[in-house]
Chain A
Amino acid sequence: MAESEEEVDVLVQRVVKDIANAFKRNPNIDEIGVIPCPEARYNRSPIVLVENKLGVESWCVKFLLPYVHNKLLLYRQRKHWLDREALVDITCTLLLLNPDFTTAWNVRKELLQCGVLHPEKDLYLGQLALTKFPKSPETWIHRRWVLQQILDQFLAVGHNKNQEQQGEAEQANAERSQQLSDHLARTLHQEMRVCSDAACRYPSNYNAWSHRIWVLQHMAKGNGKVFHDELSSMRLWVSMHVSDHSGFHYRQFLLQELITEHYQTPASATINGSSQHWSSTVPSSSPHQHSCTQTNGELSGAEAASEDDGQLSFTTVLQLFQQEIELCSDLIQSFPGHETLWSHRRHVFYLWNQWKREQQHQCSSRGDNKSIHLNDSDPGMSEVSPQSYAGREESVNGQRHASEPMEVDRVSLPNPHDSKRLKRGVLLPGTLTLTSEHSFVNSILDSCCNPEQRRFAVAYKKWLDTVIGLQS
């Protein structure tokens, strides 16, 4: 098409305006796309809004992109002036067409810093770009930057609050802090949705999943309930995406965080009585129950993690592992030949083995610490030795006082039967051991003739023998 420069100029400016107006007309646009359409149709804008979908007719993209691209670069070289509104519109068009154009995101960062743009607006633009380009690294990078701004704002208010304040100022700050905290929770929730959406649009989407991990690490640090809820809600998702290695890795990350950051080690559990509650009220898991939203009996997030700090008990951790390996066995049997599932099994078993060894180590070293501690404080407490646990169930069923150090200390210890079994290498019935893993592999090899499944099973066996075998 041999259009003159001025014609292109007029056309493009109209299209950029049309896009900006479409967003003003419908603030709920939730997807973008290019509509295949080789020729322009007279008197019709190439910008089409159908319900909440914004489409650009393909014929105009070829004019549109180079034009807005060059305009922005001229601005960046101070060869061409653009006012703030024009910058907002141009970068929006540009990034919806080419979201990896780093410099355009940077221009928006500057606009955001001087208050022309709201963080939410940019998160929204990125979300739209991801509907068409779910991997776009620069879009995810920009999101992290915007989220960091929101977090910094939150931290700044928190810092203010710590300073001595009186009366109205104090109250106003408390309100502001509450607002921000709610806002942060909503942002976190929304971010999880954006990640899920991108993960569904592109399988094993590394950028989406590593972003999700970043978000938890930065926005949910120390919040065991969030980690637990994530683990529960991901269960169904991974069951429906058995080839998605990134989705399974996310589960591995959650599991690891839960057992390292949120497991209340008996040694450190001297003030918190709540972990006891979970160890005594969460019943042992029943096999073959894998619903992701169970609230009765199984470990839903709210139940397994205590309300205040989300700490997990010893038994809860055992159940987490047991449920994970059961899920893995079910999926391996139902969907033979998936490397992802076998890789997941390796990770879960590895984590389990590592955790078990740490507990054994702590068990043995705790015995010594305990006797020293007991001798120092109260000779009566020497009853609280792992051997005197027979009456534990009775005592925890009665009313307890969290302020009573002995009681609290005592109930937070793992079940002595568990630790004895742990030392012998046989834990709860059906729990994970090298032997149980070998019999799982053998049962697969005995019953399955899918060559891929057999190949992965043999590789897993070899992995158990070498990597795990060398460790234990």
Chain B
Amino acid sequence: MGTQVKDVIIKPDAPSALLLDKHADYIAAYGSKKDDYEYTLSEYLRMSGIYWGLTVMDLMSQLPRMNRQEIIDFIKACQHDCGGISASIGHDPHLLYTLSAVQILCLYDSVDAIDVDRVVEYVKGLQQEDGSFAGDKWGEIDTRFSFCAVATLALLGKMDMINVDKAVEFVLSCMNFDGGFGCRPGSESHAGQIYCCTGFLSLTGQLHQVNADLLGWWLCERQLPSGGLNGRPEKLPDVCYSWWVLASLKIIGRIHWIDKAKLQTFILACQDEETGGFADRPGDMVDPFHTLFGVAGLSLLGDEQIKPVNPVLCMPEDVLQRIGLQPDLLS
């Protein structure tokens, strides 16, 4: 029985400098080269895909390279009568893509392009009696959707439209003995869910309800010898989990508990020097999702070539300043 730690080995020739120009070119060209098959495979999350691409471009100060009008028209076409927004045209509306769409419109300072009141009604209508949120009209419950709901409303300045106390009560009922959170009460702690729940508690002004030392401990234990972070014990390190863990640590004021230099080395090693972009792990295929979380992670670690990123909403701080939104962080 092998007892090798599940981790990666970073090769000596792995990239160690940030290749910003390459990444901007990669994102700018993304989509134009894809065939029908690849496009259809991921169309169910297109709206989030656009958010990832645009946010990383904005963090690199390259947003003007993207086609603003085309994107705004696309979002308009994705809003349904119920107010919810879908991943793409002809798909069904969902909270996940409603948040992505609102985030994109905030980057472009044009939330008025959609019917904001209806979005608010849609989000409000998805809250359940126990305070939880369904992802769409079919009723699936998940703490991720609690985050999507409050993040959407916070960006629109309409947080008072829902029962915040009840919403908080539900999220806290998903807290585990290790200080972490799962998708529903009783479910295992998971870095992605922890990010959503700490972000949720930040936006609702309830971070004092977190056991920051205990949760910080669990989060720090996600760091592996390579420097990368995983999302749960004995999983491989991954750039996206590195972001979720790092952002959660930032939110609860414990970011200094991990080895930042080693994490930076890991994230930089996940770049593809030829194509641009970041992969989940060194040597894997790059994609816009990991490219955003790689760049955002480096920003949180203090890389000054990148705009400061907000750990709660994963958007540039200057955008949130413009909106006047400043989510709480523990110190």
Contact = CB atoms under 8 A, between A and B. Distances in A.
A210 B182 contact: yes
A141 B140 CA distance: 7
Interface string B238-279: 000000000000000000000000000000000000000000
B40 A98 contact: yes
A314 interface: no
Q: Which of A101, A145, A253 has the most CB atoms of chain B within a 10 A radius of its CB?
A: A101
Interface stretch (A170-178, A334-342, A438-446): A334-342
A70 B140 contact: no
Contacts of A77: 89-90
A337 B2 CA distance: 9
A152 B157 CA distance: 38
Nearest to A106: B92
B177 A204 contact: no
Interface stretch (A59-67, A365-373, A427-435): A59-67
A459 B220 CA distance: 12
B91 interface: yes
Say what secondary structure dominates the interface of chain A.
helix
B265 to A, nearest CB: 21
A452 B5 contact: yes
B41 interface: yes
B3 A343 contact: no
B105 to A, nearest CB: 22
Given A204-B232, A339-B233, A69 B40 contact: yes
Contacts of B37: 61-62, 65-66
Interface in B161-202: 177-178, 182-184, 186-188, 190
B234 interface: yes
A109 interface: yes
Contact of A74 (B5, B90, B184, B217): B90
Contacts of B182: 210
A422 interface: no
Interface in B62-77: none
Given A74-B90, A102-B92, A347-B178, A209 B221 contact: no
Contacts of A350: 177
Contacts of B234: 204, 243-245, 338-340
A343 B233 CA distance: 8
Interface string B1-15: 101011000000000
A93 to B, nearest CB: 13
A314 B72 CA distance: 63
B158 interface: no
Contacts of A144: 140
B36 A66 contact: yes
Nearest to A100: B44
B43 interface: yes
Interface string A51-93: 0000000000110011001100110110000000000000000
A103 B139 contact: no
Interface residues of B, number: 40
A213 interface: yes
Interface residues of A, number: 54
Interface in B34-89: 35-37, 39-41, 43-45, 86-87, 89
B177 A103 contact: no
A339 B6 CA distance: 10
A351 interface: yes
Contacts of A76: 90-92
Contacts of B90: 73-74, 76-77, 103
A245 B230 CA distance: 13
A98 B3 CA distance: 35
Nearest to B44: A101
A210 B187 contact: yes
A245 B233 contact: yes
A338 B90 CA distance: 47
Contacts of B290: none
A214 B91 contact: no
Given A214-B184, A339-B234, A450-B3, A206 B190 contact: yes
Contacts of B41: 65, 98
A459 B221 contact: yes
B244 to A, nearest CB: 13
Contacts of B183: 206, 210
Say what secondary structure dominates the interface of chain B.
loop
Nearest to A70: B40
B307 interface: no
B23 interface: no
A450 B3 CA distance: 9
B184 to A, nearest CB: 7
B208 interface: no
A246 interface: yes
A125 to B, nearest CB: 16
Nearest to A69: B40
A66 B44 contact: no
A62 B135 CA distance: 31
Contacts of B44: 98, 100-103, 138
Contacts of B217: 463
B241 to A, nearest CB: 12
Contacts of B91: 73, 76, 102-103
Q: Which of A70, A109, A257, A467 has the most CB atoms of chain B within a 10 A radius of its CB?
A: A467
Given A213-B187, A347-B177, A337 B5 contact: yes
B40 A66 contact: yes
Nearest to B137: A106
A217 interface: yes
B214 interface: yes
B138 A249 contact: no
A452 B87 CA distance: 44
Interface in A329-364: 335-340, 343, 346-347, 350-351
A325 B307 CA distance: 49
12 contacts: A61-B37, A77-B90, A101-B44, A102-B92, A103-B92, A206-B188, A214-B184, A217-B186, A246-B188, A343-B233, A346-B178, A350-B177
Interface of A: 61-62, 65-66, 69-70, 73-74, 76-77, 98, 100-103, 106, 109, 138, 141, 144-145, 148, 204, 206, 209-210, 213-214, 217, 243-246, 249, 253, 256-257, 335-340, 343, 346-347, 350-351, 450, 452-453, 459, 463, 467
Interface of B: 1, 3, 5-6, 35-37, 39-41, 43-45, 86-87, 89-92, 94, 135, 138-140, 177-178, 182-184, 186-188, 190, 214, 217, 221, 232-235
Given A210-B182, A245-B232, A257-B186, 14 more contacts: A65-B40, A66-B37, A76-B90, A77-B90, A103-B90, A204-B232, A206-B183, A206-B188, A245-B188, A249-B188, A253-B186, A335-B3, A338-B234, A346-B177
